[in-house]
Amino acid sequence: MITNEYLPFSSKVLKVTKHTPMEHTYTMEFAGAKDVVPGQFFELSLPKYGEAPISVSGIGENSVDLTVRSIGVVTDELFKYEAGRHLYIRGPYGNGFIADDYKDSELLVIAGGTGVSPVKAIIDYFGNHNDEVKSMSIITGFKSKDDQLFREDFKRWGKQMNVTLTFDRGDETKENIGLVTKYIPSVKVNNFDDAKAIVVGPPIMMKFAVKGLIERGYKEENIWISHERRMSCGLGKCGHCRVNSTYICLDGPVFNYTVGKDLID
Amino acid sequence: MAYSLDKIAVDELFSKWGEDYLIYGPTLIKNTGRLSDTDSVRYDEVKSIDDLELNLKSDYSFKDVILPISEVLFYYNEDGMMVPKQKHNGAIIFLRSCDLHALDRLDQMFMENGKPDFYYTRLRENLKFVLIPCSKSFENCFCVSMNSNVTKNYDLTIEEINGEYVFESKDEYFTKFFSGSKELDYTVPYVKENDIKVEHVEKINNLAITKSEMWREYDSRCIACGRCTLVCPTCTCWTMQDIHYGDNQKAGERRRVQASCMVDNFDRVAGGHVYREKNGDRMRYKALHKISDHRERYGVDMCIGCGRCDDICPEYISFSTILNKIAKESE
Ligand SMILES: Cc1cc2nc3c(=O)[nH]c(=O)nc-3n(C[C@H](O)[C@H](O)[C@H](O)COP(=O)(O)OP(=O)(O)OC[C@H]3O[C@@H](n4cnc5c(N)ncnc54)[C@H](O)[C@@H]3O)c2cc1C
Ligand code: SF4
Ligand code: SF4
Ligand code: FES
């Protein structure tokens, strides 16, 4: 008998972390957590309200983190849930960031806004396995200090890697102000053969960050991006996420830039 | 082996088959055509040979036998979820050569694109296909160009010749019903030429074709009604939909309903962004999916050249013309 992939399973909310009024992380019980790959996603499934694809922002022993921005029908409903309640999810789906692709590299992760969620688990991984990369840097941007996510994690990352945190607006005397692209020229690179980069954020930010990286000397094949599209199934069946011959939910959401750049909606 | 039967004998067969299978075929429905006072041919359950329309091309395809326009995935209430029983445990489907080729495309999408689909697979399991051979091309057809004019993947064929019905069986289940029937020499006909021919392009330059001005014509001509994809035997897209029952806030059902890339909101994401605002760009997205995009993944064009999109379009847009324009632009 073929498994019915559309049936979501019940999962307990273990913890809710409120980063901002609009963005909360839900730590969800999930027994299969050890097989989840950073950058994969789950379908948050709330009968009556619908489903929403949400990236894995953290992988625990028996749990996964889903960091959600409250923006519509499903996500608004989710925000009524507190720790201890159960809800439905299904997944994980998609390819994710494969750690082996980045081993022994000088790794740079550039992410903006909620784009930090899908890369958070891979930042965590190399933060904890510092010996697997030659160097590790992140450039992350948020609209303002009030919009920052993962404040506690940034403290840890500060000790593990080179962290650049910047805000679109704020007090220039206290923090970095400007877009993430502004900081690409100051990343220290020893050898561009080893320099690899992951870029995730709004399409316009990804476009300019990749441009900045290529101008800097990064090779196209050493850059990875993650795409978002309308999704109804996450299973390669509904057709909504298709771009050319690619299904973002199956073949992505993570793409090497040499592949990802040619997708035309 | 081929057999010839009169109408009474055929109706007897229908009632015997009906004990084992749901029988599904093209039927003529009065006053439902594109223009007023015209008829349309749609798929429905058939009980006798009189219900079947063997001479006209169906306006709608057979696909909703295995891919219902709206399908309940599960019912939910406080206690959990319940998957409904399948609509049928087996069906006999009457269709044409191009349709049998379309079935391959549906299979590719639902059984090969990722893990096999539970709901599709269970309806797909026990199907028998009866070919209605075409001896001549219908309007708007271009099956010869799409290599879908001939098929061997049928279980049975049916053709009306001089008031009798001629069958050729390749399937044990069917063959056993013909023992004692009049045998004859028979070759299954097929269409060798269409008025419409479509030029093939091996490799399409996506960037160049996207930039082409050819799509701008359809920004205004196409009204994004989605009828072309609804009738298309190879269009499979759908959207998840939750429906709850009136006053009971906790009970309802989750369905999938047929969707169309030609229609507003197909690509809309939270926050309001859409990827293809203009109808001409949706036409490009659809057209390339029907040829090169699907071919890149599965080695065959998705379009099978049935021309139903042209038959139904209220704006008289011709899809074969679009394919030929793409070929010209790609020279
Ligand atoms: C791979 C992937 C990973 C993602 N990761 C995250 C993440 O980690 N965190 C996060 O916060 N978000 C993430 N998103 C975005 C998130 O999925 C959306 O914000 C979420 O689907 C919004 O759902 P909603 O019901 O709250 O919003 P709504 O705006 O109510 O939308 C619900 C769904 O219906 C569609 N829709 C809305 N209005 C209409 C309409 N009028 N007609 C037809 N359809 C409509 C939307 O496009 C959406 O798919 C991700 C998306 C993808 C594809
Ligand atoms: S043409 Fe459009 S509606 Fe039809 S299968 Fe392709 S994307 Fe879906
Ligand atoms: S091509 Fe014709 S049938 Fe298809 S969406 Fe446009 S107007 Fe409707
Ligand atoms: S989300 Fe349904 S096919 Fe990709």
Instruction: Give the pair of three-digit tokens for residue A252.
Output: 């992505």
Specify which residues A90 forms β-bridges with.
A43
Q: Which residue has the tokens 């690619």?
A: A246
Looking at the structure, do residues A73 and A131 belong to the same domain, yes or no? Answer: no
- In this prediction, residue B282 carries a pLDDT of 98
The whole-angstrom separation of Cα B266 and Cα A241 is 9
Looking at the structure, do residues A145 and A220 belong to the same domain, yes or no? Answer: yes
Which of A45, A71, A93 represents a domain boundary (last residue)?
A93
- A251, part of any domain: no
First CA to last CA across chain A, in angstroms? 36
Q: Which of B295, A246, B289 is nearest to A254 (CA)?
A: A246
Ligand 2 close to Cβ of residue A239 (< 6 A): yes
- A258, part of any domain: no
B266 with A49: Cβ contact below 8 A: no
Q: pTM here?
A: 0.95
- In this prediction, residue B287 carries a pLDDT of 97
Looking at the structure, do residues A71 and A160 belong to the same domain, yes or no? Answer: no
Q: Quickly state the pLDDT bin for A218 (edges 50, 70, 90).
A: very high
Q: Is the confidence at residue A18, as pLDDT, over 80?
A: yes
What percentage of chain A carries pLDDT values higher than 90? 95
The whole-angstrom separation of Cα A153 and Cα A165 is 12
- In this prediction, residue B89 carries a pLDDT of 86
**Other Cβ atoms within 10 Å of A151 Cβ, number:** 11
The whole-angstrom separation of Cα B301 and Cα B297 is 10
- A86, part of any domain: yes
CATH of the domain at A194: 3.40.50.80
Which of A93, A111, A140 represents a domain boundary (last residue)?
A93
- A252, part of any domain: no
Looking at the structure, do residues A220 and A106 belong to the same domain, yes or no? Answer: yes
Looking at the structure, do residues A116 and A64 belong to the same domain, yes or no? Answer: no
* Contact call for residues A225 and A260 (beta carbons, < 8 A): yes
- A22, part of any domain: yes
- A146, part of any domain: yes
A238 with B238: Cβ contact below 8 A: yes
- A128, part of any domain: yes
* Contact call for residues A177 and A141 (beta carbons, < 8 A): no
Looking at the structure, do residues A222 and A103 belong to the same domain, yes or no? Answer: yes
Ligand 2 close to Cβ of residue B237 (< 6 A): yes
Question: How far does Cα A187 stand from its chain's mean position?
Answer: 21
Give the pLDDT mean for A159-164. Answer: 96
**Other Cβ atoms within 10 Å of B303 Cβ, number:** 30
A50 with B115: Cβ contact below 8 A: no
CA B289 to ligand 2: nearest atom? 6
Instruction: For B108-163, write each residue's pLDDT tens digit.
Output: 999 999 999 999 999 999 999 999 999 999 999 999 999 999 999 999 999 999 99
- In this prediction, residue B87 carries a pLDDT of 87
Mutation choice for A interface testing from B66, B230, B242 by most A CBs within 10 A:
B242
Residue B101 φ then ψ, to 5°: -70, -35
Looking at the structure, do residues A107 and A26 belong to the same domain, yes or no? Answer: no
As for how many domains chain A has, the answer is 2
Q: Cβ of A259 under 8 Å from any chain B Cβ?
A: no
Instruction: Give the pair of three-digit tokens for residue B232.
Output: 């298309």
Which of A57, A75, A93 represents a domain boundary (last residue)?
A93
Helix (H, G, I), strand (E, B) or coil at B238: strand
Specify which residues B86 forms β-bridges with.
none
Q: Considering CB atoms only, which of B76, B118, B296 is closest to A245? A: B296
Looking at the structure, do residues A71 and A187 belong to the same domain, yes or no? Answer: no
Q: Cβ of A173 under 8 Å from any chain B Cβ?
A: no
Can you give the residue range of the structural domain that contains A63? 9-93
Q: Which of the listed residues A44, A55, A227, A238 should we mutate to test ligand 4's pocket, taking the one with most ligand atoms within 8 A of CB?
A: A238
Residues in chain B predicted with pLDDT less than 50, given as ranges, are none
Ligand 2 close to Cβ of residue B261 (< 6 A): yes
CA A53 to ligand 4: nearest atom? 1
- Distance in Å, CA B250 to ligand 2 centroid: 34
Looking at the structure, do residues A184 and A86 belong to the same domain, yes or no? Answer: no
- In this prediction, residue A164 carries a pLDDT of 95
The string of DSSP letters for chain A reads: ----TT--EEEEEEEEEESSSSEEEEEEE-TTGGGPPTT-EEEEEETTTEEEEEEEEEE-SSEEEEEEE--SHHHHHHTT--TT-EEEEEEEES----GGGGTTSEEEEEEEGGGHHHHHHHHHHHHHTGGGSSEEEEEEEESSGGG---HHHHHHHHHHSEEEEEESSS-TTTSEES-GGGGGGGS--S-TTTEEEEEESSHHHHHHHHHHHHHHT--GGGEEEE-----S-SSS-S-TTEETTEEHHHH-SEEEHHHHTT---
* Contact call for residues A16 and A85 (beta carbons, < 8 A): no
Residues 6 or more apart whose Cβ sits within 8 Å of residue B232: B61, B308, B309
Cα angle: A157, vertex A159, A164; to 5 degrees = 55
CATH of the domain at A40: 2.40.30.10
- A125, part of any domain: yes
Specify which residues A227 forms β-bridges with.
none
Q: Which of B231, B234, B221 is nearest to B310 (CA)?
A: B231
- Distance in Å, CA B276 to ligand 3 centroid: 15
Looking at the structure, do residues A57 and A104 belong to the same domain, yes or no? Answer: no
Looking at the structure, do residues A38 and A88 belong to the same domain, yes or no? Answer: yes
Looking at the structure, do residues A78 and A152 belong to the same domain, yes or no? Answer: no
